[in-house]
Amino acid sequence: EDIPGTALSAGMQWNWETFPEYLDYLDTLPKALDVGTQVPHGAVRAYVMGERGAMNEPANPEDILEMKKLVREGIEAGALGVSTSRTIVHRAIDGVNVPGTFAEEDEMMAFGEALSEAGTGVFELAPAGVTGDDMNLPDLEVAWMRRVSAATGRPITFALVQLDAEPDHWKRMFDLSEEAAAEGADLYPQVTARAPGVLLGLQTNHPWVNAPTFQEISGHYKLGEGDAHHLRRVPIEEVAAEMRKPEIKAKLIEELEAAHQDIAFINLGRVFQLQEPLDYEPSEEDSVAAMAEREGREAHELFYDLLLEDDGKRLFFAPTLNYTDFNYDVVRKMLTHPRAALGLDDAGAHCGVICDASMPTFMLTHWARDRSRGEGLPLEFVVKKMTSDTARLYGLNDRGVLKPGMKGDVNVIDLERLQLRAPELAHDLPADGRRLVQRAEGFVATIVSGEVIMRDGEDTGARPGQLVRGEQQPAISVA
């Protein structure tokens, strides 16, 4: 997705081939936290079918049988489930949809059967139509999920968001999931705590990112055709200083008008400054477009100036889903639905434009303490949703509650002091790769298996994390 290919090439050890070998390798690595895995459909398909699988050609019965065998092998080695993507927005560098995007139901059923035969595992997916590209698809997706779950007895969790095109469609997905439960199928729409979106900025993505003049002064190759390659990394302060020159600004504004990339025409009515104290539920009048209207300025011209604030390091929140009404009333309804699973937060793959690793802290600060534009949520509900509910879904019955015999994973939190800091861009991946990081204040200690791994936001160096292999049970019987 957005992880630099150079970082993957330089940082990954390819000393494994099969999924069990991959797990064995993960087992040897030092880890602060416990790590769980899922068998990826795309990799299995490409491995079994080669170019046919990568190009999304239909699988024949022999292909399906071999894929099923590999999925079961991965589950029996310790994977917690199988995952697939069926949305057309997930593409490879060359623009081709990832393997498995258009797989038929018999292929999906085989994966469910692999879980069933192994006696464990969750089927997880980003379904077709999830981003609103075709509103006829979600119903069809839920239909096959119902059949697969009912036939195999395994739970399925699928991404669900609010779409501007049909703002109430999410309700139907929950209704269908409840109907499925009455028929013996276990479907859990997977929802998030805020609006999925991207972080715009001079260091991430913005309307001028492909403009020739910006490419020249920043030292970038053209983006959009693979990784963001760097000829050199000009300090962002120097880039901002250059862009403040009137002649450079005039040239870039002119180049924007001639551009044809989608990013050049981003809706600034859905772009908000992200400054401390952070506001992830901004009102419509806080948008860049609304600011420009109040000031009598053209929106992109104002956005240009705002991008240069903080020496070019200012970031902007651009929600793309779950924000039709410019508030989180719908998100609250999703979170509190009895069939909702909490997740769907991009904490790594889009490491240069999305930073949703902060979602657990956001759940505690925004929903349990600070929400002012509507009703919040009880602290106990928020903690349970993030801990025991998720653990139960994945069969991790040794964690998620504080009881004798359960795993000693604990966050010690000063709730009054808890707050998120603004995201920052770091170049600390292998091969100088970039990623967004976001820190929080108020975590007194983070304890894993009884060992303190973080104290007041600082790494202690302890690495008690383990690879979690399959379902887990308490160390002693828990009443």
pLDDT tens across 192-238, in order? 999 999 999 999 999 998 899 999 999 864 444 444 444 457 899 99
The predicted pLDDT at position 258 comes to: 75
Question: Residue 263: pLDDT band by 50, 70, 90 thresholds?
Answer: low
The predicted pLDDT at position 222 comes to: 44
**pLDDT of 264 over the 80 cut:** no
As to burial, measured by CB atoms within 10 angstroms (0-12 exposed, 13-18 middle, 19+ buried), residue 323 is buried
pLDDT tens across 27-73, in order? 999 999 999 999 999 999 999 999 999 999 999 999 999 999 999 99
Predicted TM-score (pTM) above 0.85: yes
As to burial, measured by CB atoms within 10 angstroms (0-12 exposed, 13-18 middle, 19+ buried), residue 459 is exposed
Catalogue the E-assigned strands of 48-191. Answer: 81-85, 122-126, 156-159, 187-191
What phi and psi values does residue 69 have, to the nearest 5 degrees? -60, -45
Q: Where are the domains of the chain?
A: 5-194+324-393, 197-319
**pLDDT of 131 over the 90 cut:** no
The CATH number of the structural domain formed by 5-194+324-393 is 3.20.20.140
**Start-end of H helices in 55-104:** 61-77
Instruction: Please give the residue that has the higher pLDDT: either 470 or 7.
Output: 470
Stated length of the chain:
479
